Structure 1
Amino acid sequence: MLVLDDEGEDKNLENERETFSSSGCYAKAWVLLTNDSQKLNNLFCCLCNQIANNAVELQCNDHENVEQAYLAGEECLQTYLKQNNEKCPIGQHDHCEFSKSKITRQQVSDLLVICPRQYDMQKEQSNEGIKTGEKGECENESNWNLTSQCNFKGKIKEMKDHLDKSCQLISIHQTFSLQIVLLVVCIFKELKEMQTEIKRLKANDDEKGKQIQQLNRQVNDLQHESVKKDLQI
């Protein structure tokens, strides 16, 4: 089976992969949360090693006698063929032939999973190692979405409808965009407060300067008065 051999590279690609996609393969770490690994053994895409979405089976004459069935996500296979002059990913021969794997598609669509946005949020919290305890106002505002939860658990085929109509969470990408906006707002707010404080301190300095000048004048007046008294004596 043609899969990524480098474990580190595979891990990096998995982290970058979108958890749920209407066309791309599904993140196996997400699916494994609620499914036994043995149940998934025959559902992996031979190109990306994730759970095959819209699975197709390679049926080329060059390897028709091989006992192993080669499955791929349809989008993965189409992308591979475009990038490799339509050569089969198994034997690198021309005229790659494949057909829909209806049984695999049904098995994948019936897999139970949690909300992918909830999964992404939990993964992000784990990656960032979010600290508990006292937080600043801006940090609390920027992380407001992390306190929300989606308890949905259903079949993969139900997921798009859930995300479009009933999920209370926004996607992790939208969360990042919103967090950036909130942080910028907080920065401008803090900047304005600092400018106000600088003006206040400057005003205090000006007032103190006036008081010092007045005291200096009083000292000079007293010195002149003292000299006059000395002359009179």
Structure 2
Amino acid sequence: MSGVDDEKTPKGTNTGVTPVSIEQQCFDKNWILQLNEPKQFEHFICSICKQVANSPVELCCPQHKDIDESTIVGENCLKQFLKANSNSCPVQPHENIEYSRCAALQRHIGALNITCPLQFQQESQGQNQRNEVIVCDFKGEIKELNDHLNNVCPLKISNCWYKPFGCEYNCYKHKLNDHLSSEFKLHFDLVVKFIQTLQEEIKQLKSQIQMNENN
């Protein structure tokens, strides 16, 4: 099994790891170590990113059933790896991988004690880039993380409701209502412009269809 010490991915291998939401990515070992001992999660390490596996799955391909190294990976890490490496197995290069979900491991990982990951990120960066003194004192278990981030955390950054119409503003969740109230005209104008653009596209499409029918 993989330990919790830093490990390197073999050269020439494309891990395919791209930025994903904090709810999907594997868990930072340094964050987990705040409230847990290494031995509590040393067997839960993702073989791809070397962090604590999120939604762990076990690779059970017959091509490497006898190897001693860990075949546990985070589900999202596996999806990204397969996409970036033509569906080749991350343990040994071959196609048609086989894997299964690890419910028992998920329960153990879900029971690890944690602080708020956004608070940890803020402290790790050494400053609050928004120049606001906002602290999240959440302490709980990993299985409670999604509910905390989606519904409670004061550090979660929210996009404006009108982002689909062109508003790029984002802010702490508790300040979103202030933005919505103060920028009513901006949002109204964005929606009107969006509808006008849509109407023009529909008009052009109808015109093109009519031209095709007449030819």
- TM-score, normalising length from structure 1? 0.57
> What does residue 27 of structure 2 align with?
26
Kindly state the Cα deviation for residue 154 of structure 1 after the two structures are TM-superposed: 0.3
**Hey, which of these two has a bigger chunk of helix by percent?**
1
- The answer on whether the counterparts of 1:80 and 1:89 sit within 8 Å (CA) in structure 2 is yes
Aligned to 2:123: 122
1:149 to 129, 135, 151: 135
Which 5+ residue runs of structure 2 have no aligned equivalent?
10-17, 161-169, 173-215
Counterpart for residue 5 of structure 1: 8
Task: Report the equivalent of 1:96.
Answer: 97
Contact 2:157/2:171 (8 A) holds in 1: no
Residues 1-233 of structure 1: pairs in structure 2 closer than 5 A: 5=8, 21-125=22-126, 142-144=130-132, 147-171=133-157
Q: Is the 8 A contact 2:114 2:140 kept in 1?
A: yes
Distance 1:120 1:89, change over 3 A: same
Residue 223 of structure 1 corresponds to which residue in structure 2? none
2:122, 2:144 → 1: CA distance?
20
Query: Are the structure 2 counterparts of residues 32 and 173 from structure 1 closer, same or farther at C-alpha, using a change threshold of 3 Å?
Result: farther
Helix, strand or coil: the match of 2:140? strand
Q: 1:95 to 1:86 in 2, by over 3 A?
A: same
Number of positions where the alignment pairs a residue of Structure 1 with one of Structure 2? 154
TM-score normalised by L of structure 2: 0.61
Q: Distance in 2 between matches of 1:165 and 1:44?
A: 28
Q: Distance in 1 between matches of 2:91 and 2:125?
A: 35
Residue number in structure 1 paired with 2:185: none
CA distance in 2 between partners of 1:163 and 1:89 (Å) = 31
Aligned-pair CA distance for 1:121: 1.5
Structure with larger Rg: 1
CA–CA separation in structure 2 for the residues paired with 1:44 and 1:172: 30
SS for the counterpart of 1:120 is: helix
Q: CA distance change for structure 1 residues 17 and 122 in 2, over 3 Å: closer, same or farther?
A: farther
Percent pairwise identity: 30
Between the aligned partners of 2:8 and 2:155, the Cα distance in structure 1 is 35
Distance 2:158 2:41 in 1: 26
Aligned AA (1:116): P
Instruction: Name the residue aligned to 2:189.
Output: none
Secondary structure in 2 aligned to 1:106? helix
Three-state SS of the structure 1 residue aligned to 2:143 is helix
Mapped contact 1:4–1:49 kept (Cα < 8 A) = yes
Change (3 A) 1:30 1:17: farther
* Deviation readout 1:35-72 (Å, 9 max, x if unpaired): 10111111110000011011000101111122444100
Kindly report structure 1 stretches of 4+ aligned residues shifted beyond 6 Å: none
